[in-house]
């Protein structure tokens, strides 16, 4: 069967959608706080929580703090400990607790509450958990411990909240919070409460009375930025935009020495840190210890605790540097485990689809060292990207006779809003039917425990897959039918029309002038008359300051700078004739800079994707143990204009097309890519600048002929009309 030309190599359709800008963050800290206070005034339990927390600080109560083991939880705990210490609370009155993923599981638990009470805690904070922890919170209240929950996980309609706690959570069903507030990660909730605490203590005169400097909360924004990006919350709102912009600024300026040490251990330049480093380098490092610290693993049962390092009193202490290095080693071990598990899970998924071609849900699982329960969520995300189906990855523990499962699901943007195959609701339903010991989560990500004796584990896992299939099949079909990859624009590098604005760049103007002067016959042209003609009779020549011994170069430069007559057109035409590839490269760089002006990016505000028709692959090599490709690509119509490109976690069809396209007679492709600027810089005269680079997300078979390839693109890119006439600079 011939390939459907309306589908890409990743079997996706594309839709032309104008870029939706993120909300503008307030210009400064004062404006941010003013706008934030107006939002927080309507948030349930916010005011009561900061007053109770301020009472605990003033009265020197012992405060227990229970957080999550992921990056959001670790950064939330580190931020709160930094703040409380800055308010004069000694470590003897602080009881931090992060549960072990494997022995305790997620969230506050009865044993942790009991331990805190034994240590004298009269107030318990839960960070990034607790919204539905009814039993542990009831136990805490029964033992005389007040509870404040700082969380962002939603309760569902009909799910009551624990009556025993103050719950600061914009996503609770009774909160009338604006979307930007709902999008905060737990670290954002912790930050606004910590700021409220400092303001409340200052209002009471606490810092003056105790001769303490008021904590500078802005210096904790690096932690907020790190966890906000790493927790993959929607960053398009003004609150998260502010957190990331200001947090990156703090880290780049060296305002958080502990995060500077973390960057050093990760071998990331802190002064050039980006949100991409937070997402793909620092975030995974902070997450890694919580994924691997199994008591039965001799190498990592005492994995470094990220929260301790992120709030260490002395950033220069040797144990801090060694701790971050050990954290990096932990992350490297995680990568190796992930690669092994991914191969096993990928093989199972392919076999499942071979035997059940119409499957709507992937469920894969196994036992043994490869099937590490701390890695299943990452691998579920990888399989989701590759196969485009809701995916469950399950690790079986023979001793406990159960599967630990992590799931990821699909979604689509429609004119009516986002739709999903709700895996969290499916897990909750299965739990309510008694088929899961534990289960729940978000529409896109969920976790569960499936109990099974060893002899029946394979049959029970398949029965569970069939139940999910029945529950989600209709939703999957609806999402798949609506799925479109959103494309911001079409860029044809071989047919770019240069803009005269490029001549505002001194380097470009200099090159254009030299080519223009070479084209003016010496002795045949009176430069004064040329200037007069370019003025179009609007200004007399003497106003152009041509008197004296000024050089031809200076006069023409003056004409271009002042944008007089056709001077820019003459200069641009001369440069386009002499160096067309240089102009194309500069135009691409300009587009790349414009695209990144909308940063910071993240979930809900992704870097815009652009379609590049008629591209050929000049070189290709593998990286990341074969998981990624490094490429050199070029427009078919301008083969000397080469661009660097990267493709991460490519599908088999994409890999085959990209590698096959690099032969002696390369086949043209339409590449779908984000625009980036490589750290490598162009050498030569003028100001060095980063090189344009593509991050390839998808591709489609193209055509050598400009008109036909535009027609092919029009078949698969909804909302796009091929131009009636193409302006193509001829191949040389």
The Cβ of residue 197 has, within 10 Å, a number of other Cβ atoms equal to 24
Residues 147 and 81 placed together within one structural domain of the fold: yes
Give pLDDT, residue 534: 57
- Predicted confidence (pLDDT) per residue in 639-663, tens digit: 888 889 999 888 888 888 888 766 6
pLDDT of res. 199:
97
Say which residue, 221 or 303, is predicted with more confidence: 221
Final residue belonging to a domain, choices 547, 565, 580 = 580
Instruction: Please check whether residue 129 is in contact with residue 151, taking contact to mean a CB–CB distance below 8 angstroms.
Output: yes
Quick one: pLDDT band at residue 725, thresholds 50, 70, 90? low
Sign of CA dihedral 570, 571, 574, 580: negative
CA distance 168 to 125: 11
Q: Which of 369-378, 574-583, 592-601 has the highest mean pLDDT?
A: 369-378
User: Quick check: is 529 in a domain?
Assistant: yes
Contact status, residue 421 vs residue 408, Cβ threshold 8 Å: no
Q: What CATH number is attached to the domain comprising 594?
A: 2.40.50.140
pLDDT of residue 548: 43
Q: In what order do the strands lie in the sheet with 94-97?
A: 94-97, 62-66, 121-127, 146-150, 166-168
* Domain coverage including residue 661: 487-494+586-718
Question: If you average pLDDT over residues 522-527, what whole number do you get?
Answer: 50
Average pLDDT of the segment spanning 520-529: 54
Q: What is the pLDDT of residue 564?
A: 75
Q: Please tell me the predicted confidence (pLDDT) of residue 661.
A: 65
* Domain co-membership, 320 together with 360: no
5: phi then psi, degrees, rounded to nearest 5: -70, -5
pTM: 0.88
Q: Are 237 and 195 in contact (CB under 8 A)?
A: no
* 599-611 pLDDT tens trace: 899 888 889 999 9
Last residue of a domain, one of 331, 347, 381: 331
Pick from 319-328, 467-476, 526-535: least confident:
526-535
pLDDT of residue 559: 77
**pLDDT score at 665:** 75
**pLDDT confidence tier of residue 538, bands split at 50, 70 and 90:** very low
Gap between the Cα atoms of 638 and 12, Å rounded: 28
Task: Name the nearest CA neighbour of 168 among 76, 230, 104, 235.
Answer: 76
Is residue 4 a part of any domain in this protein? Answer: no
pLDDT in tens, 181-218: 999 999 999 999 999 999 999 999 999 999 999 999 99
In a domain, 667, yes or no: yes
Number of structural domains (the chain) is: 4
Confirm whether 240 is domain-assigned.
yes
Which of 127-141, 428-442, 651-665 is predicted most confidently? Answer: 127-141
Q: Is the pLDDT assigned to residue 170 strictly greater than 70? A: yes
Q: How confident is the model at residue 731 (pLDDT cuts 50, 70, 90)?
A: very low
**Statement: residue 135 has pLDDT above 90:** yes
User: Residue 647 half-sphere exposure, CB side, CA atoms within 13 Å?
Assistant: 28
Reported as a single tens digit per residue, the pLDDT across 447-487 is 999 999 999 999 999 999 999 999 999 999 999 999 999 99
Asked if 660 and 684 sit in the same domain, the reply is: yes
Encoded tokens for 10: 């990743």
Q: Are residues 310 and 365 in the same domain?
A: no
DSSP state of 673: E
Looking up residue 461, the CATH number of its domain turns out to be 3.10.310.30
Based on the fold, state whether residues 298 and 324 are members of the same structural domain. yes
How far apart (Å, rounded) are the C-alpha atoms in residues 513 and 515?
5
Token pair belonging to 245? 């912009």
Residue 495 sits at the vertex; the CA angle it makes with 490 and 497, to the nearest 5 degrees, is 95
User: Could you tell me the sign of the dihedral formed by the alpha carbons of 220, 223, 224, 226, in that order?
Assistant: positive
Residue 349 lies in a domain: no
- Cα separation, 591 vs 597, in Å, equals 10
Q: How far is CA 411 from CA 382, 414, 501, 604, in A?
A: 15, 10, 41, 12
- Per residue in 411-434, pLDDT (tens digit) is 998 878 889 999 989 998 898 889
Q: Is the pLDDT of residue 1 over 70?
A: no
Query: Do residues 695 and 646 lie in contact, with contact meaning Cβ atoms separated by under 8 Å?
Result: yes
- How does residue 284 score in pLDDT terms, banded at 50, 70 and 90? very high
* C-alpha of 330 from chain center: 22
CA-atom Rg of the chain in angstroms: 30
The distance between the two most distant Cα atoms of the chain, rounded to a whole number of Å, is: 101
pLDDT at position 341 over 80 = yes
CA–CA dist 154, 296 (Å, integer): 33
Per-residue pLDDT band at 596 (split at 50, 70, 90): confident
605: how many CB neighbours lie within 10 A of its CB? 22
C-alpha 207/C-alpha 87 separation (Å) is 8
Predicted confidence at residue 556, as pLDDT, reads 75
Q: What element of type H or E holds 669?
A: strand 669-681
pLDDT digits (tens, 9 = 90+) for 680-697: 555 454 455 667 789 999
User: Which H helix or E strand runs over 471?
Assistant: helix 457-482
Last residue of a domain, one of 331, 366, 389: 331
Q: Residues of the chain with pLDDT > 90: what percent?
A: 61
Summarize the confidence of residues 272-276 as an average pLDDT. 93
Q: Does residue 378 sit in helix, strand or coil?
A: helix
Q: What is the CATH number of the domain that holds 233?
A: 3.90.1640.30
Angstrom distance (rounded) from CA 206 to CA 204: 5
Give the residue with greater pLDDT, 438 vs 122.
122
- DSSP-derived pairing of the beta strands 402-408 and 391-397: antiparallel
- Give the confidence band of 120 by pLDDT, cuts at 50, 70, 90: very high
DSSP β-ladder status, 669-681 and 690-701: antiparallel
CA dist., res. 515 & res. 521, Å (int): 12
Asked, for residue 341, whether it belongs to a domain, the answer is no
Quick one: 388 and 251 in the same domain? no
Which among 605, 601, 651 has a CA at the least distance from the CA of 385? 651
**Percentages (nearest 5) of helix, strand, coil residues in the chain:** 45, 20, 35
- pLDDT for 453: 94
**What pLDDT is attached to residue 550?**
54
pLDDT in tens, 43-53: 999 999 999 99
- Residue 687: its pLDDT value, please? 52
| Same domain, yes or no: 292 and 154 | yes
Q: Residues 6 or more apart from 349 whose CB is under 8 A from it?
A: 362, 364, 383, 386, 387, 391
Phi, psi dihedral angles at 64 (to 5 degrees):
-90, 140
Do the domain assignments include residue 10? no
Clarify whether residues 539 and 651 are in a common domain: no
Do residues 128 and 251 both lie within one domain?
yes
pLDDT digits (tens, 9 = 90+) for 96-119: 999 999 889 889 999 999 999 999
Question: Are both 317 and 216 inside the same structural domain?
Answer: yes
Q: What is the chain's mean pLDDT, rounded?
A: 88
Given pLDDT bands bounded at 50, 70 and 90, which one contains residue 275? very high
User: What's the pLDDT score for residue 730?
Assistant: 45
Task: Determine the distance from the C-alpha atom of residue 211 to the mean position of all C-alpha atoms in its chain, rounded to a whole number.
Answer: 42
Contact indicator for 404, 374 with CB cutoff of 8 Å = no
Residues 122 and 56 in one domain: yes
Distance (Å, whole) CA 222 – CA 263: 12
DSSP 44-105: TTHHHHHHHHHHHHHTT-EEEEE--SSHHHHHHHHHHHHHHHHTT--GGGEEEE---TTTT-
Segment 505-523 shows an average pLDDT of 78
304, two tokens: 């470094």
The predicted structure's pLDDT at residue 546: 42
Q: Is the per-residue pLDDT at 144 higher than 80?
A: yes
- Flag whether 727 is in a domain: no
Q: What's the pLDDT at 520? A: 65
Q: Are residues 133 and 192 in the same domain?
A: yes
The beta-strand segments (E) located in 377-423 are 391-397, 402-408, 411-414, 417-420
Cis before 206 (ω within 30):
no
């Amino acid at each position: 069967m011939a390939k459907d030309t309306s589908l890409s190599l990743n079997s996706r359709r594309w839709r032309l959608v104008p870029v939706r800008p993120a909300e503008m963050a307030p210009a400064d800290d004062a404006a941010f706080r003013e706008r934030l206070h107006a939002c927080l005034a309507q948030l349930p339990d916010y005011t009561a929580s900061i007053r109770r927390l301020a009472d605990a600080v003033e009265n020197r109560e012992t405060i227990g703090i229970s957080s999550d083991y992921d990056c959001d939880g670790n950064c939330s705990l580190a931020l709160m400990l930094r703040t409380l210490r800055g308010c004069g609370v000694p470590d003897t009155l602080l009881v931090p607790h992060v549960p072990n993923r494997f022995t305790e599981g997620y969230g506050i638990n009865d044993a942790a509450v009991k331990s805190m009470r034994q240590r004298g805690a009269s107030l318990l904070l839960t960070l990034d958990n607790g919204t539905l922890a009814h039993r542990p919170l009831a136990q805490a209240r029964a033992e005389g411990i007040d509870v404040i929950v700082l969380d962002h996980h939603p309760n569902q309609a009909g799910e009551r909240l624990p009556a025993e706690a103050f719950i600061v959570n914009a996503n609770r069903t009774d909160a009338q919070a604006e979307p930007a507030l709902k999008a905060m990660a737990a670290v954002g909730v912790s930050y606004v409460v910590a700021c409220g605490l400092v303001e409340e203590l200052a209002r009471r005169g606490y810092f003056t009375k105790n001769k303490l400097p008021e904590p500078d909360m802005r210096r904790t924004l690096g932690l907020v930025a790190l966890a906000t990006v790493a927790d993959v919350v929607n960053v398009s709102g003004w609150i998260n935009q502010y957190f990331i912009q200001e947090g990156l600024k703090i880290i780049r300026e060296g305002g958080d020495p502990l995060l500077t040490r973390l960057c050093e251990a990760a071998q990331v330049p802190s002064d050039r840190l980006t949100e991409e480093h937070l997402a793909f380098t620092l975030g995974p490092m902070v997450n890694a210890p919580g994924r691997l610290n199994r008591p039965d693993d001799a190498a990592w049962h005492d994995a470094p605790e990220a929260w301790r390092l992120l709030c260490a009193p002395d950033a220069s202490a040797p144990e801090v540097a060694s701790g971050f290095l050990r954290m990096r080693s932990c992350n490297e071990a995680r990568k190796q485990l992930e690669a092994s598990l991914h191969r096993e899970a990928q093989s199972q998924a392919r076999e499942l689809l071979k035997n059940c071609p119409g499957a709507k849900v992937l469920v894969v699982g196994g036992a043994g060292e490869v099937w590490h329960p701390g890695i299943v969520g990452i691998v579920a995300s990888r399989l989701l990207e590759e196969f485009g189906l809701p995916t469950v990855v399950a690790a079986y523990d023979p001793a406990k006779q159960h599967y630990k499962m992590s799931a990821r699901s699909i979604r689509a943007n429609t004119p009516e809003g986002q739709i999903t195959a709700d895996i969290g609701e499916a897990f909750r339903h299965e739990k309510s039917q008694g088929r899961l010991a534990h289960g729940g989560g978000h529409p896109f990500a969920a976790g569960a425990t499936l109990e099974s004796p060893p002899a029946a584990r394979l049959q029970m896992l398949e029965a569970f897959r069939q139940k999910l299939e029945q529950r989600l099949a209709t939703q999957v079909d609806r999402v798949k039918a609506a799925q479109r990859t959103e494309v911001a624009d079409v860029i044809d590098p071989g047919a770019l029309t240069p803009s005269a604005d490029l001549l505002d760049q001194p380097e470009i103007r200099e090159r254009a002038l030299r080519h223009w002067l070479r084209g003016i016959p010496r002795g045949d042209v009176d430069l004064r008359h040329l200037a007069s003609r370019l003025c179009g009779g609007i200004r007399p020549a003497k106003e152009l300051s041509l008197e004296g011994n000024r050089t031809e170069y200076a006069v023409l430069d003056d004409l271009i700078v002042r944008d007089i007559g056709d001077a820019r057109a003459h200069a641009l035409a001369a440069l386009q004739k002499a160096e067309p590839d240089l102009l194309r490269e500069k135009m691409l760089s300009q587009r790349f800079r414009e695209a990144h002006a909308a940063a910071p990016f993240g979930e809900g505000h992704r870097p815009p994707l652009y379609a590049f028709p008629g591209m050929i692959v000049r070189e290709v090599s593998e990286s990341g143990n074969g998981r990624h490709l490094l490429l050199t690509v070029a427009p078919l119509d301008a083969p000397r204009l080469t661009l660097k490109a990267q493709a991460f976690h490519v599908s088999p069809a994409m890999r085959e097309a990209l590698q096959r396209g690099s032969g002696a007679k390369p086949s043209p492709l339409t590449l779908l890519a984000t625009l980036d600027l490589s750290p490598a810089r162009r050498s030569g005269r003028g100001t060095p600048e980063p090189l344009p680079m593509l991050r390839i997300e998808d591709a489609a078979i193209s055509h050598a002929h400009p008109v036909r390839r535009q027609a092919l693109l029009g078949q698969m890119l909804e909302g796009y009309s091929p131009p009636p006439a193409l302006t193509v600079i001829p191949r040389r």
